[in-house]
Structure 1
Amino acid sequence: MHVGILGPVEAHSPDGKVAVGGPRPRTLLAMLALRVGEIVPLDRLIDELYGSQPPSDAANALQGQVSRLRRALGRAELIEFHPAGYRLALEPDQVDACRFATLAAEGREALEQGDAQAAESLFSEALQLWRGPALADVDAADHATRLEQQRSSAVSSLIAARLRLGKADVGEIQDLVRQNPLDERLRGYLMQALNQQGRQAEALQAFEDARALLADELGTDPSPELRAIHLQVLRGQTQRELPAQLTSFVGRQKELRRIASLTARLITLTGPGGAGKTRLALQSAGAGAIFVDLAPAKDVAAAALQALGLKETVLSPEDRLTLALRERDTVLILDNCEHVIVQAAQLAQHLLSTCPSLRILATSREPLGITGETLCPVPPLDPEQSVALFVDRARLVNPAFVRDQHTTDICRELDGLPLAIELAAARTRALTTEEISERLNDRFRLLTKGNRAAAPRHQTLRAVVEWSWDLLSEDERDLAASLATFSGGATLEAVEEVGRHDIEVLDALVDKSLVEAADGRYRMLETIREFCSEHKRVDAEHAAYFLDLASRADPELRQRNQVQWFTRLTAEHANCLQAVEWATEHDPELALRLVSAMSWYWYLKGSRTEVRGMAEKLLARVPEQSTEEYAILLALAAPERVQSKLAELRGPIKQPFVLIAWAMLAGPPVPDAPRTELQDEVERSDDPWIKGLVGFSNSYLGWAANRDRAAAIQNCRSALRHFQDLGERWGAAQILDLLATLTEDPHEALALTDEALLAVGELGAAEELAELRGRRADRLLDLDPDQAEREYLQALELATQAGLSATRALANAGLAKIAQRRGDLARAEQMLREAQRELGFGWMHEAAKQQVEEVLSELVRSREV
């Protein structure tokens, strides 16, 4: 059922139009429809039906009219009785007046948000619901007047939307002015429509007609709004609409909120090319803003005049703009200022000082650099928004597109740069996301098919970056290319040492959005870095710098400031790997020295698995030699060969990682085996770190040989002091772990293990964290099996991340013990078999294999019992 009151009152059922009846049933239906879904009080309905002379039995008379209306509608339940009154049981959209009000409200909202196209569509649909004068065949003048006022407001708003679209109908507006001669808003619309069509003389005459009529009829002058339109026409000014957008706006909620919260009169959106600055400016500016595209411009003031629709006069362009904008409360968007930055800054300064109600929203790859400017950086999209943008644009060309893991990978590889993401999404019409992802190492060839109607600099990814590159000075280009050599960003020290330019040049690159500065480091987006690195590379200088840094850092990693240096090397991890890779190809001896200098850091970080492939390449390119550096390389690339090479070494030790490699790969010395010269040299060392390591080794070996617990503990305490005096956490953790093994108090063992975990956790030593977590589980096994299980699982996860198969095997063995105690023998055996498969070369693997086999034997015995 639908009810119409925007015209004669009528009702329609699915079978067709319903004969409602005479005046009183129609009036009753109209009154209920005006408040559809609400209870209309009895006394109000009586007043509407009978006026000032109701019958003596008005309540019964009303009930009789309700009965007639129910019979006419054919559905008695549509008019519900309540103690307080009657209710029409329909949805609001089933009454044309309610539907009209909803559409008109949505149209006003669209108009306020600057979407004139949507507003026109909504108001047109709303006005099509009208079939004539409201409530045409019932006596309800007040209600009809209110509805007609709403209709008039919607008509005015429809004209406003069409004016913004540049397609207002002059004849239609003239008819409305004749019907409502004192409506100044309609008079203003008529003047604007005439002006848009180039009929300025008629527009001016329309103003004079309005002024004369207002003076004769009301004795008043035109309103300030009408006078402002008159002044606009006098200046030859026509309002231009913001560029219409053909795709949806995705993300940027944080930036939109920031812009909306700012009270500054000059806001500059800064960011690299393709970051979406223009789209963000248009989205945030709102209706009535003036858009000036400076990309093709050489004269900023002339471009602004053109955007305002102003003709040149004897006045200077700046004064002409001041005259046009002085009394206007509006936003001027100066888009793409970077190539005319000085002109844009000068015009902005002039207009802001002469037009007190004007605000300017600029977009540029660098700030305008004038007083009062507030910067709003436009960073790459976050991962979630990047994927949302890719999916939205991909479905425009491939409606069946479904996101997958490659979608996320593509967006990450493209740095969340909106234009690059849109160009990649356009490729989904012909390529799968996997194929796109695989080709991003040559992104400038892949991302070449953009919007043909866009400016040339936005049609390909290369063109976007090239636009920025061409605006740089020679020094800026040289430093940009040098900085592009750094794969992991760079500190100021590194930039100055490798790039060899003053800090002012670096500041300029930051200002021009080619370089990001954060947390004391300077980085480039990968797309920009790839482009800049095509022009120049400084790999030799880069490798030399990081060899020097690693050489300085290495001894510090065994002293009190080891955490700070570890953090610094972690920040340079990618750069150091890059340096080794380059040197392996071009200077193997330098690569060998760099591997040696980085070896202790890599061990602490747990990166031996990560660097093994790189070490194998280097091993194939350097001649065999009896040096510490070569032994370290073998420890990383071919550990099965390192033991024989260690036997060839002579002291003194320069890189203590040799000793760690010796302990890890050679294992405990064979009893009564002849001592080597290197062993004697190590024992005589005055290096406090090596002395602590020797003390730890002697404690462990002494306990293993003679089981003298007290002597072993005493030796441990002495060795611990060496590491504690140095402030060295790794060595202290090793001895704390051994003390936990030596103590006979299980609670003390846990406390010592926790102290060791705290030390290596502060350092971030991945391998030790995994091993200590597993040993903490061992020490909890008889105290708290549930907690022990959680610790084993955590050790398993950490060992997986660090690539420690022996530690994984031991964790699985511990979990198997717990499963066996719970009676799940099948599960226990499965885990032990898995642990056996984990183990390979080296004495540590042999020791782990022995423990696994012991647990397996115990399991077999328990099954036999």
Structure 2
Amino acid sequence: MRGSGGDHRPHHLAGHPRDQGRHADRGRADQPRDIGSAARVAPHRGAVRSPPQGRARPAISRADRSRGQPTGSRGRRVPAAGQSRPVKRDLADFIGRAGELNEVRRLLRSRRLVTLVGPGGSGKTRLAEEVLKNDHQAVRVHLDVVSRPDSIWHAIASAVDVREQVHGSIIGAVVQQLASTQSVVLLDNCEHLVEACAQVVTQLLRACDRLRVLVTSRQPLDLDGEACVYIGPMDPADATALFLRRADAVQAHLVAGDRDHDLIGRLCDRVEHLPLPIELVARRLRTLSLAEIEQALEKSMRSTLVPGDQVDPASPPRHRTIDAVVAWSYERLSAGERDALNRLSILVGTFDLDLGVRVCGDSSTPRHAAIHVISSLCAKSMLVREEEKDQLLLFRLLEPVRQFAADRLKATNGTDQTYDRLVAALVDHARSGWELDEPRPNEDRILVLHAHLINAHDWCKRRNDPRHGYLAISILDAWTRHGHAKRVLHLAQQMLAEHGYSDYAAEVHYFAAWSHIRLEQGAEALRHANQLRNLWKSRSSAYQAVALNTVGFAAIQAGDDAQAIDVLRASVRQAVQSGDALRSALCMSNLVKALCQIGQKDEALAVARQSLLLLTDDAAGYRKCYVHTSAGFAMLDCDHLDEARTCFTEGVITGANTTYFLSFALHGLALVASRQGDASQTAVLLGAAAQALQRAGTEPWEYWKQRTRAAEQMAVAELGSGLYRKAHARGTRLTHTGLVDIVSRKSGTSTTLTRRQEDIARLILAGRTNAEIAEQLGIALGTVRTHVSQMLRRHGAGSRAELARLLAEFELD
């Protein structure tokens, strides 16, 4: 890594690259000697990539000419420095990327080096041209035809109309030409000459105090003071708009109805909302229908987006096919990076750092070396860093890159060996998760591993690998936490019928029992629970506590309340005897629910408060959600509304990854709001709970339906059916962050609006327009629009007026 001082961790692991609207400095670019290591600017989603028409080629050095490179003219005739030097404009219109456009323009006003970083086909060049379209002094240097580092200065000289020097240095002549100007120099496509470009930029910025440099590259230059803006996938709405516009351009005359819009959305999803693949897909409409394109993409993206008569002749060769886009970056990786990328291609979807390290390395590879390779692949835009979840660093291969690398892995006969590494890593996690007497791993990690567990399980089954049993148990675990009871039962029945799963019978009975409980099938639940109890009767207190807890709750569903309470109390005693505070809290929570259902309120309240005291900070989010929610219902039944609201609020905050348990917390808050006479809040929360259950693919218990029916009737009577439907619909649109805003506001805590959004919210409440807000705050109009759009989505508002009404409820300082 170039650059001095600072954090020496791999920069793609040291900080989150998607914290919207932030960037960190590692020095200032106006300091003449320090132009190094990338300061991060969060990426926005949204953009377009349209190949420029008729690019001018830079001058090529004698060394390049001798190697058969095309001789470059000095390109378009560019006047001397200080006169008009317009950037080439693309003939296609620009769609989306409002956030990135505003951020780059803002940075160029205050910074001297800004780099647009992102994967191939994300529209970096097109965005740079849009940024500079009204800057008539900007200089564009196109480097994709430059193959040698010593040709960069010649390319710049050609762009500023400096002829090769017979006597003296061409570098000195270029510097002299640019020294007195306030121009922006665009260095386009630097990824294959990163080190040389970094040296050139450093020399330019040291010598030309008023010069600014805009770079496009698939990896940063890593210079101090560099501000990096990540250009990734487009916003889904913008991606659809781009597809429709490009479909018109190829004279497809596509009139999209609602079904077609859904289909176009799926096509854009499949190509990762990247502009170039979207354009390639749209060109296929000359010969294929939307449905035929979708079928072809399902088979192979790479074979669908092929050259032929679909090619735009003005586009550079590396942008004419998906393979060419990926190959341009792939060929510039080291041998070790290529090998790691090939192995990571078996991971479909997001994966965490530990799984990536296990898959791309082996027993002889030090962990730090594997982490370094993953960091390097992120830096080169071959691997995408995703949102952090539950303190897990998450990564993903974009699908075009994954398919390309998977073919390379297959060609080297490395697929089976890599799958073996994946299975070994997942089995290790599965074993540790079901050793109840041992410390727990990160329990929420299984939700991240879910798709990989299914993939690895299928691979093991095809090869009769006995390790498939461990993987199947982990799949049941993940589905149980998601609330997919019917899926669990289907797989559990298959496993119990097959001889190969006999070693895991107890775990299968456990998950089957709880799935029957969720489906309110008490007799079947009790049958599986008793089987579990028999299989674990000679195990430790921890195992017996889990078995007794399962039997007790199944007995509640079967209608045997007396037996249920006795067994659940016994399970609490066993859990306490095991010394596991968290397991004790969970067993108490199930006892609380049973006591509430049979009306023993006082004991339920006492046990609930004790369970909260035993809840540990390191517990998984879904467990915290469950314990808080159970305690909340006990407090609600005893009319302790403030305590109940606090518990349910904690359940919402910690239940982000478990929509099933989250729905319980939302139902609880709806009941609190109903008792307090807040009909609008009741309707919103009931809508949010219904949406959570829909995402979980399950229905609420009849017990909960009965409890919430009165609250719904109160809200309808108070609001009227029309307003109730509007408020309920708003609840279904809320993001988890929006839910936290609502419930935290009611609990007296602060909103999660950013400081800038709070400033904008105050001005919205004062009746200002977006233009007036932009002028008063001194920010771009597009920035205001981006923040307003985010607040609309976050709070489920259907209009600006509704947003203003909702913001009025916040206590803004």
Provide TM-score, normalisation by structure 2: 0.59
Aligned mates of 2:379, 2:666 — CA distance in 1: 48
Residue 268 (structure 1) aligned with residue 115 (structure 2): yes
Q: Equivalents in 2 of 1:358, 1:543: separation in Å?
A: 54
Q: CA deviation at 1:296?
A: 1.9
* Counterparts of 2:220 and 2:177, CA distance in 1: 26
Q: Do structure 1's residue 386 and structure 2's residue 239 form an aligned pair?
A: yes
How far apart, CA to CA, are the structure 1 residues paired with 2:437 and 2:244? 47
- Whether the aligned pair in 2 keeps the contact of 1:785 and 1:818 (CA below 8 Å) is no
The residue aligned with 1:65 is none
How big is the alpha-carbon RMSD for the aligned residues of Structure 1 and Structure 2? 5.1
Correspondence 1:31-180 to 2 at 5 A = none
Contact 1:250/1:388 (8 A) holds in 2: yes
Q: Identify the range of structure 1 (492-501 vs 575-584) with the bigger mean alpha-carbon deviation.
A: 575-584
- Contact 1:792/1:811 (CA < 8 Å) preserved in 2? no
- The aligned residue for residue 377 of structure 2 is 509
Aligned equivalent of 2:248, options 386, 391, 395: 395
Residue segments in structure 2 that go unaligned for 5+ positions in a row: 1-55, 57-73, 362-368, 410-414, 617-622, 722-813
* Rg (Cα) greater in structure: 1
Query: 2-side partners of 1:692 and 1:485: how far apart?
Result: 39
- CA displacement 1:451-473 (0-9 Å, x = unmatched): 13322110011110111001000
AA partner of residue 253 (structure 1): A
Tell me how far apart the structure 2 counterparts of residues 670 and 774 of structure 1 sit (CA, whole Å).
26
Change (3 A) 1:390 1:301: same
1:418 maps to which residue? 275
1:539 is aligned to 419
- Change in CA separation of 1:323 and 1:733 when aligned onto 2, cut-off 3 Å: closer
**Which moves more between the two structures, 714-723 or 360-369?**
714-723
Counterpart secondary structure, 1:361? strand
Aligned to 1:630: 508
Amino acid aligned to 1:437: E
Quick one: structure 1 residues 555 and 351, their matched pair in 2 at CA, closer, same or farther if it must change by over 3 Å? same
What residue number does 2:788 align with? none
Residue pairs, 1:503-582, within 5 angstroms? 503-517=371-385, 519=388, 520-536=393-409, 538-549=418-429, 552=432, 565=442, 568-582=445-459
Q: Which residue of 2 aligns with 1:207?
A: none
Give ranges in structure 1 of 5+ residues lacking alignment: 1-163, 165-194, 199-227, 828-865
Alignment of 1:460-539 (within 5 A): 460-500=321-361, 501-517=369-385, 519=388, 520-536=393-409, 538-539=418-419
Q: Which has the higher contact order (CA 8 A, sep 6+)?
A: 2
- List per-residue Cα deviations over 1:193-241 (Å, max 9, x = no partner): xx9999xxxxxxxxxxxxxxxxxxxxxxxxxxxxx97x89xxxx99986
Give, as a single letter, the amino acid of the residue that structure 1 aligns with 2:245.
Answer: D
The CA distance in 2 between the partners of 1:324 and 1:509, in whole Å, is 37
CA contact (8 A) 1:588 1:622 kept: no
> 1: CA distance between counterparts of 2:678 and 2:158?
79
CA distance in 1, matches of 2:223, 2:131: 22
Q: Are residues 753 and 555 of structure 1, via their aligned partners in 2, closer, same or farther at CA, if it must alter by over 3 Å?
A: farther
Counterpart CA distance in 2 for 1:253 and 1:739 is 49
1:445 has 2:303 as partner: yes
The aligned counterpart of 1:757 is 648
Say if 1:338 and 1:365, in contact at 8 Å, map to a contact too: yes
Return the offset for 1:292.
Answer: 2.5
Question: Aligned-pair distance for 1:736?
Answer: 3.7
Partner of 1:642: 528
Structure 1 CA distance for aligned equivalents of residues 113 and 563 of structure 2: 81
Question: Structure 2 vs 1, CA of residues 330 and 784 (structure 1 numbering), >3 Å: closer, same or farther?
Answer: closer
Matched with 2:186 is 333
**Aligned letter for 1:453?**
A
Change (3 A) 1:822 1:383: closer
Deviation at 1:273, TM superposition (A): 0.8
User: What one-letter code is carried by the residue in structure 2 that aligns with 1:301?
Assistant: W
CA distance in 2, matches of 1:196, 1:531: 35
- Deviations along 1:359-389, one digit per CA (max 9) or x if unpaired, are 4332221223445544333232222322222
Q: Distance in 2 between matches of 1:241 and 1:410?
A: 36
Instruction: Give deviations 1:526-567, integer Å, cap 9, x for gaps.
Output: 3323322333353333343344445556789999x99xx455
Cα distance, 1:548–1:607 mapped onto 2, change above 3 Å: farther
1: distance between equivalents of 2:628 and 2:89?
65
Structure 2 residue 483 is the aligned partner of structure 1 residue 606: yes
Q: 2:90 aligned with 1:245, yes or no?
A: yes
Assess if the C-alpha contact under 8 Å between 2:189 and 2:217 holds in 1: yes
Measured after TM superposition, the shift of residue 636 of structure 1 is 8.0
The corresponding residue for 1:804 is 698
Separation (CA, whole Å) in 1 of partners of 2:567 and 2:606: 28
Instruction: Give the residue type in structure 2 aligned to 1:246.
Output: L
The CA deviation at 1:492 is 3.7
Using the TM superposition, give the Cα deviation of residue 397 of structure 1 relative to its aligned residue in structure 2, in angstroms: 1.5
- Decide whether aligned partners of structure 1 residues 758 and 249 sit closer, same or farther in structure 2, where only a CA change above 3 A counts: closer
Question: Cα–Cα, structure 1 residues 452 and 809, in superposed 2: closer, same or farther, change >3 Å?
Answer: farther
Q: Please point out which of 189, 195, 215 is paired with 1:362.
A: 215
Q: Judge conservation of contact 1:612–1:636 (CA < 8 Å) in 2.
A: no
One-letter code aligned to 1:530:
Q
Check whether the contact 2:480–2:515 (CA below 8 A) recurs between aligned residues: no
Aligned residues: 586
Q: Given the superposition, is the C-alpha separation of residues 471 and 669 from structure 1 closer, same or farther in structure 2, using an over 3 Å criterion?
A: same
> CA 1:658/1:623 → structure 2, altered by over 3 Å: closer, same or farther?
farther
SS in structure 2 at match of 1:625: helix
SS for the counterpart of 1:332 is strand
Shift of 1:419: 0.7
Contact 2:118–2:232 (Cα < 8 Å) also in 1: yes
- Give the CA deviation at 1:696: 7.1
Q: Which amino acid aligns with 2:372?
A: E
- CA deviation digits over 1:407-439, x for unaligned, max 9? 222223322211111111212333333443343
* 3-state SS of 2:246 partner: helix
1:724 is aligned to 613
Is the 2:95–2:238 contact (alpha carbons within 8 Å) kept by the matching residues of 1?
yes
Counterpart secondary structure, 1:527? helix
CA distance in 1, matches of 2:286, 2:570: 70
| CA distance, structure 2, for counterparts of residue 360 and residue 347 of structure 1 | 11
**How does the TM-score come out when normalised to structure 1?**
0.56
Taking the aligned partners of 1:700 and 1:391, their CA distance within structure 2 comes to 53
SS in 2 for 1:406: helix
- Equivalent residue number for residue 67 of structure 1: none
Offset from partner CA, 1:630-655 (integer Å, 9 cap, x none): 32464589995836744752422666
SS in 1 for 2:215: strand
The separation in 2 between residues aligned to 1:783 and 1:341, in whole angstroms, is: 63
Contact 2:671–2:708, Cα closer than 8 Å, also in 1: yes
Q: Which amino acid aligns with 2:302?
A: F
Match of 1:290 among 139, 157, 163: 139
Distance 1:783 1:361 in 2: 57
The residue aligned with 2:102 is 257
Distance 1:332 1:681, change over 3 A: closer
Q: Distance in 1 between matches of 2:549 and 2:211?
A: 70
Shift of 1:582: 4.5
- For the residue of structure 1 that corresponds to 2:467, the secondary structure is helix
